[in-house]
Amino acid sequence: GDSVTQMEGPVTLSEEAFLTINCTYTATGYPSLFWYVQYPGEGLQLLLKATKADDKGSNKGFEATYRKETTSFHLEKGSVQVSDSAVYFCALGVSGNTPLVFGKGTRLSVIA
């Protein structure tokens, strides 16, 4: 079945460090890929998305490129801030009567 695998957390970085959170997927068909962010005590917010191979999603300094050859959608940010501390979920959506499939989430802590 369809699945998403994210790197285990927690990830702890100093402010202004470079961030990579790995995400790989398994899917039948041609999925759309998403990153969601959940700040403490809040719901999930859609951070960025990509709907086809080689698309790059970007938002708030975060980027992810849909790589079909490596079935990956890694999240990157060049310089993290304390305010980026949150849990990040990678997710995929495919055709058919199947809602989003989420990864387990990666907790990011950024220290000043």
Catalog residues that contact another protein under the rule CB under 8 A: 32, 34, 36, 42-46, 49, 89, 93-100, 102-105, 107
**How many residues are present in the chain?**
112
Q: Which is nearer to another protein, 46 or 111 (CB)?
A: 46
CB of 28 to another protein, least distance (A): 12
* CA-to-CA dists, residue 104 to 6, 8, 66, 67, 86, angstroms: 7, 8, 19, 20, 13
- By beta-carbon proximity to another protein, the closer residue of 13 and 87 is 87
CB of residue 61 to another protein, shortest distance in Å? 20
Write the burial class of residue 10 (CB in 10 Å: 0-12 exposed, 13-18 middle, 19+ buried). Answer: exposed
Q: How far is the CB of 99 from another protein (least distance, A)?
A: 4
